[in-house]
Amino acid sequence: MKLSKCIAVTVLGACLGFTSTASANSDAVAKDGTVKVPPFSMPMSSYASDAAGPYWHKIVSMPGLPLSADIEKLRVHYDAMNKARADLMLDMYDVTIENSTVAGVPVKIVEPVGGAVEGKLLINLHGGAFLWGAGNGELVEAIPIAALSGYRVMTVDYRQGPEHVFPAASQDVFAVYQEMLKSYDARHIGIYGCSAGGILTAQATAWIIREGAPVPGAIGTFCGSGVDYAGDSSQLDPVYGGATPVSEGGMPLTMMRLPYFNSVKEASAIVTPGDFPETLAKFPPTLLLAGSRDFAASAVTIMQRRLAGVGVPSKLYLFDGFWHAFFMDAEIPESQEAFDLIVGFFKAHLGDG
């Protein structure tokens, strides 16, 4: 019997308990840990529902616009995409939608038909790169959550780039939140959002803490959180679309590259609270959720470890094989599961009364 180099599948195989007959490449891992990866085919996760693979193909085949496109065209384009999603949700869930203004900020109030639970409020911050998402983008995260929780959901049309820069959105969310504190106990308010909305949820929470206001009862940061995008998932993001990682000539997918953050000159707890333990320690219970193939997956897992490090209760769910913001599409079975997890978390933390 011959000792072999304990490489690749052998490491993760026989060395630690399992083995595979896949070929291994002894020179593949450099001294700094960088791996030379050969070309390969990656099937959809075997744990995902049957809808997942074809859905991924569908998404990848949809017409898109580069971030550098004209801002009005971007907004029209993504609003149409979000309208199709919201229309599907309106077929699935019975809700009422009312446009209003709170503290000078436009909001939409989404409630289950027949009225919402009294005394509880969820504030939803939409996604869209701090560039678009107002309008139908406000509805796609609000409709299923309002219908399934029975809670009133208020979506905030916060100021975005390129016309506005940080901290305009945090200020708008705080203005709405302060106004709502006149009618609701902070412990009965939840704030949540996906992508830019996940980042803004963390930033607005840090803003609330800085202002000395009572923190909400719970928050949910999905597909984005209180640290910038980095780590393995930001490298693998292009890979799942058949391209090479950002380290191979691409620009990293960081939030700091967005026009909205042009005003930010230095690291700060109101920008990336996950990097500032003193602020983070004052966060309320936090739900974190992403697809495992989301470029934000690493950021979300890092944020959760940092919350744990300062003793803040948190809950992390990863959806194996799924992509950024997958649960905007309500017909995917895993989206229903995500809605249930979100609703369950807020019900547990905002109380029943």
Q: Is 11 in the site for a second copy (CB under 8 A)?
A: yes
188 contacts a second copy (rule: CB under 8 A)? no
Binding to a second copy by residue 221, rule CB under 8 A? no
CA 93 to CA 231: how far, in whole Å?
A: 37
Is residue 324 near a second copy by the rule CB under 8 A?
yes
Helices 71-92 and 142-149: crossing angle in degrees, nearest 10, is 30
Please state the closest distance from residue 147 (CB atom) to a second copy, in A: 19
Q: Does 72 bind a second copy (CB under 8 A)?
A: no
Cβ distance 146 to 95 under 8 Å? Answer: yes
Smallest gap from residue 49 Cβ to a second copy (A): 11
Q: Is 195 in the site for a second copy (CB under 8 A)?
A: yes
Retrieve residue 109's tokens: 């109030």
For residue 162, state whether it binds a second copy (rule: CB under 8 A): no
305 in contact with a second copy (CB under 8 A): yes
> DSSP letters of 241-279?
TTS--TTTTPPP--GGGSGGGGG--S--TTT-GGG-HHH
Question: C-alpha angle with apex 93: 87 to 96, nearest 5 degrees?
Answer: 80
Instruction: Determine which residue in the list 89, 122, 128, 151 makes contact with a second copy, applying CB under 8 A.
Output: 128
Give the nearest distance from C-beta 183 to a second copy in angstroms. Answer: 32
Residues 223-242 that bind a second copy (CB under 8 A): 229-242
- Interaction of residue 84 with a second copy, rule CB under 8 A: no
φ, ψ of residue 170 in degrees (nearest 5): -60, -40
For the bound state, the minimum distance from the C-beta of residue 199 to a second copy, rounded and expressed in Å, comes to: 10
Nearer Cβ to a second copy (109/224): 224
Is the distance from CB of 193 to CB of 122 less than 8 angstroms?
no
- Pick 282 or 317: Cβ nearer a second copy: 317
Site string for a second copy, 260-299 (x = CB under 8 A): --------------------------------xxxx-xx-
172 binds a second copy (CB under 8 A): no
By the rule CB under 8 A, 29 interacts with a second copy: yes
Angle subtended at Cα 78 by Cα 75 and Cα 79, rounded to the nearest 5 degrees: 75
Q: Is 246 in the site for a second copy (CB under 8 A)?
A: yes
Q: Which is nearer to a second copy, 23 or 104 (CB)?
A: 23
Question: Which residue, chain included where needed, has tokens 């569908």?
Answer: 58
First CA to last CA distance, the chain: 68
Residue 260's nearest CA partner among 159, 162, 173 is 162
Q: Is 352 in the site for a second copy (CB under 8 A)?
A: no
* 31 counts as binding a second copy under rule CB under 8 A: yes
Per DSSP, 31 falls in state: T
| Minimum CB distance to a second copy, residue 195 (Å) | 5
| Contacts with 91 (C-beta within 8 Å, 6 or more apart), sequence order | none
Using the minimum distance from each CB to a second copy, give the nearer residue, 24 or 97.
24
Q: In sequence order, which residues have a C-beta less than 8 Å from that of residue 195 and are 6 or more positions away?
A: 127, 128, 129, 222, 223, 224, 296, 324, 325
Total residues at the site for a second copy (CB under 8 A)?
Answer: 125
36 in contact with a second copy (CB under 8 A): yes
